[in-house]
Amino acid sequence: MPRPHSRRRLGVAVITALLLGSAAAAPAALAQDEEPTNLITNGDFASGTTGWWSTANLTGEAADGEWCLDVPGGTLNAWDAIIGQNDLPLVAGESYELRFTARASADLSVRALVQRDVDPWPTALEEFPGLTAEAQTYSYSFTANTDWSDAQLAFQIGRHAEPWQFCLSEVALLTGAEPPVYDPDTGPRVRVNQVAYFPDAPKQATLVTDATDPVPWQLHDAAGTLVAQGESSPHGDESTSGESVHVIDFSAATATGEGFTLTADGETSYPFAIGGDVYGDMAVDALSFYYPQRSGIAIDDGIAPGYGREAGHVDVAPNQGDGAVPCYGGACDYTLDVTGGWYDAGDHGKYVVNGGISVAQVMSVYERALHAPTGDVSRLGDGSLRIPEHGDGVPDVLDEARWEIEFLMAMQVPAGEELAGMAHHKIHDENWTGLPLMPADDPQARFLEPPSTAATLNLAAAAAQAARLFEPYDAEFAAQALEAAETAWAAALAHPDVYAVDRGAGGGPYGDNDVTDEFYWAATELFLTTGAKTYEEHVLGSEHHEADTFGPGAFFWGSVATVAKLDLALVPNALPGREDVVAQVVAGADHYLELQAASPWGLSYGSNGTFDWGSNSAVLNELVVVATAFDLTGEARYRDGVLTGLDYLLGRNALGNSYVTGYGSHDSRNQHSRWYANQLDPSLPNPPAGTLAGGPNTVASTWDPVAQRWLTGCAPQRCYIDDIGSWATNELTINWNAPLAQIANFAADQAADVAGKPSCNVEYRINGQWPGGFNAQVIVTNTGDEPLKDLTLTWALPTGQSIVHSWSVALVQEGHLVTATELGGGHELKPGRTYTFGLIGSKDARTAVAPASVTCSAG
């Protein structure tokens, strides 16, 4: 559950900008007798505005050492109104200080840049100072990465709705500055999961210390009472954090409640809970994240308090889409209505490739609940999430998924066209827009980017999965989804090597020139939904079917073979050799557990020193594999591995930071977004609770200017900054929140399971089958020491099956679920005794298989 925010770290404005008082000292990098050089001409405006320029929409004058300009309202981008100075020389490796005094007639932020005024506008410094009516002095330091003879200082002051006045004085760009140093507040050196631990699962923390011998530790409850103590286990130097660390294992502690703290080496951790429904709220929040990401619908503040906004991209000015979107450059003679779907990340683009894996993982939250022994479909029912579709009788997670599935289907090339059945790769703005910018205020022209085989197969896979999950709730939509999936499959076979084209503007590329894994995934989902031999043959013939696909990160949008294997292993089916796929998944999970056990942070990812863009999603996707192994085997070590992996994301890391907004004492709050942009505009919100931050990124070639400025030389786990400008480390995306939703829901199910289930064993036998039908027998045995009263069984029928008749039981089918009551005439089941009942079912052409699991409960 969310915990109070008692933050010790400095705010972003203080980290990146020192508000100077009258006693502020000059930069210390120069010798005492050496004066820094000011590269700015006429920074005191003693000569009017000589040396400065401004856009034509600005008017004003310089007087008394201050230049005041009237800024028009109604501009949409920061760069719609600019003042600046050009041709400033920067030397690679030299550090500079930008200093200026500014005020505004209203409280707002502007964008201050040192950049080159040439496409793609490389940046040495980007800051967003918050201005008030009182003049304040701002100072920012940076180190130049390359020699520039033509750098530009620019103050971008547009994008505000109302007219206002901007006043600037005492501008200097000084040589000889101290190099900037990023020294984040990492909180107490005792790093814990700041949310909660399970009473019956591993409870570990990491202590950052130079001590070489074991250190005593104490666990206290909220009242300060000592409840456990022991000694740490020294690990020593650890490469991913750049720290010397110990491990504290307090798994033997049996106390439960909130407000526990660990003390060791003179430091006391942030508080945390032990026990309770510790992940139920996060499970809801991680899925409710998607509603305010929706395009094409007004977000209701009553449903998502604090996040209400106008509908984006519904053909209402200044929007130019998405009701009739043309192909870029006139590449096609049709338009498509692609209203709806989810905005991919913090921008206004919508991408089929990333949307496909995202919605598949969201649907897998529900599909796992159907088939896993500890799955709980009731937590995902109608009314469970913060969405507007309550009361339609459909599980909310499927309602949310449908919003994206319908968009994916709308991206399909119409019949009769040259690439009919293919899916357009993406739709987004002609050019990038600035921050902040609400979706309804986006003025850019929107275009369909060319179709690709990868996008087409994403559509095929996701729509096929949707078809089997929606069939009990909306058979017509399920049929439409399956038709779209099979049409897409045929189109991909006809065009197997049409790769994405990136024109370098307006949206992310999502390029992928190896689509053999997408063919494998799409064939898998179509096989699971239809049972058709043609898809089975493609699955069995794929180069990925027997390959080890369980590398670092397990899977992502560009490598989806593991996604197929997880579904083949968990979803009931009659694939020949399916037990080999199950063995692969379990072996992959074992590999991740081995890596996790070797890490003093409980981290399976990044042992090679590489943390990719979106590393937190890679951590979670590995945990999805481990969670599936638990579902398949029931072995507690896999469950424990998932919970240990969550510790890293929720604060047991080198930065002492919870990467899930709203959870923990020290959490990410400034993810890169155009509308969750409180860091830039206090009238806008931070991201909603349950939003995952991308996480550490060691791939410097992908870094944004903020990362380049602050993170050079960082240890892998420390290559992160909670700054809205750092899209390379702090982005939010639909595909990163999807595995968070999977793992949070898995964890919530395990918390509910801690209370225990009745001691019973269920055997489900298929005794016979014929074209169109089958006969099954169910045997229930009380394996405990107490009688079982009011015994109830539940299971999810495999795709293509339904109940026709039963005996010695009362069966009710609702959606995918079958509920069995009145076993043995309603009498209690005594220890060691069994009840047996039978049923006749109908089926499609495929071989009937038993449910993945049958759950029993007793009154």
Active-site amino acid positions = 347, 672, 722, 731
Q: CA-CA distance, 375 to 373, in Å (whole number)? A: 6
Find all residues with CB under 8 Å of 641, minimum gap 6, and list them.
Answer: 589, 592, 593, 596, 604, 623, 626
95 and 180 Cβ atoms separated by less than 8 Å: yes
The closest alpha carbon to 748, from 343, 280, 247, 396, belongs to: 280
What is the C-alpha separation between 103 and 90, in angstroms, rounded?
27
Q: Is the dihedral of CA 523, 524, 528, 534 positive or negative?
A: positive
- The torsion of the CA quartet 344, 345, 348, 351, rounded to 10 degrees, works out to -20
The number of beta carbons lying within 10 Å of the beta carbon of residue 48 is: 12
Asked whether 837 and 812 are in contact (CB, 8 A), the reply is no
DSSP state of 268: E
Provide φ and ψ at 482, rounded to 5°. Answer: -65, -40
Extract the tokens encoding 486: 């099979």
Distance of CA 474 to the CA centre of its chain: 29
Whole-angstrom distance, CA of residue 356 vs CA of residue 420: 19
CA distance 473 to 470: 5
**Rounded to whole angstroms, how far apart are CA atoms 431 and 444?**
7
E-assigned strands of 402-495?
423-424, 426-429, 446-448, 451-452
Residues 6+ apart with CB under 8 A from 575: 527, 536, 539, 540, 568, 581
Report which residue type is found at 650.
Answer: L
Structure tokens at 374: 């500890």
Q: What is the dihedral of CA 561, 566, 571, 575, to 10 degrees?
A: 50
Q: How far apart are CA 810 and CA 825, in angstroms?
A: 9
Integer angstrom CA distances of residue 290 from 401, 466, 643, 650, 667: 9, 17, 24, 21, 20
Closest by alpha carbon to 327, among 404, 237, 418, 397?
Answer: 418
Q: How far is CA 335 from the centre of its chain?
A: 31
Structure tokens that stand for 674 in this block: 């155009």
Terminus-to-terminus CA distance in the chain, angstroms? 28
**Greatest distance between any 2 Cα atoms in the chain:** 99
